[in-house]
Amino acid sequence: MDKNVVLVVFAKILVPFILLFALYVQFHGDFGPGGGFQAGVIFATGIILYALVQGVDRAMAVMPPAVLKPMMAIGVLLYGGVGIASMLLGGHFLDYGFLAHDPIHGQHYGILIIELGVGITVAAVMMVIFYAFMGEQN
């Protein structure tokens, strides 16, 4: 890595901003363009950039595959869980209006949580696919 000092230093500066932007896109999706899917991809891109310049092993120390594999499922379960919760509270599947006393608040909570689920699954899947592809080369 010593031969690409500019690349390594620049990537190091960029990564936190990419991750922060991902969180902004995640939680600002109700107001601006974006949402869980884009946020998940951008978050994964930040970690992948780190892996490309610092090596996969160091990226795996930050985001271990053992953590990412369950996260893949947790996102989907979070999404489905919101659907089940709205059923238990008296509505249809994914009918967020029943999640709070005010239907509009319920919609807000529902959208926030399912977008989080989307973001978690997408980010975890993208990183896992990248790890899998990088795994046995050389």
Tracing tokens 């509009």 back to the chain, one arrives at 104
In the complex with another protein, the residue whose CB is nearer, 33 or 90, is: 33
Of 24, 27, 80, 91, the one binding another protein by CB under 8 A? 80
Q: Which helix (H) or strand (E) holds 95?
A: none
Asked whether the beta carbons of 30 and 111 are under 8 A apart, the reply is yes
Is 50 a binding residue for another protein by CB under 8 A? The answer is no
Is 117 a binding residue for another protein by CB under 8 A? The answer is yes
Is 56 a binding residue for another protein by CB under 8 A? The answer is yes
Is 47 a binding residue for another protein by CB under 8 A? The answer is no
Largest CA distance in the chain: 62
67/61 Cα distance (integer angstroms): 11
Q: Which helix (H) or strand (E) holds 12?
A: helix 5-27
Is 90 a binding residue for another protein by CB under 8 A? The answer is no
Is 76 a binding residue for another protein by CB under 8 A? The answer is yes
Is 73 a binding residue for another protein by CB under 8 A? The answer is yes
Asked whether the beta carbons of 29 and 36 are under 8 A apart, the reply is yes
Asked whether the beta carbons of 82 and 110 are under 8 A apart, the reply is yes
Q: Which residues bind another protein (CB under 8 A)?
A: 25, 29-35, 37-38, 41-42, 44-45, 48, 52, 55-57, 60, 65, 69, 72-73, 75-76, 79-80, 83, 93-94, 96, 103-104, 107-108, 110-111, 114-115, 117-118, 121-122, 124-126, 128-138
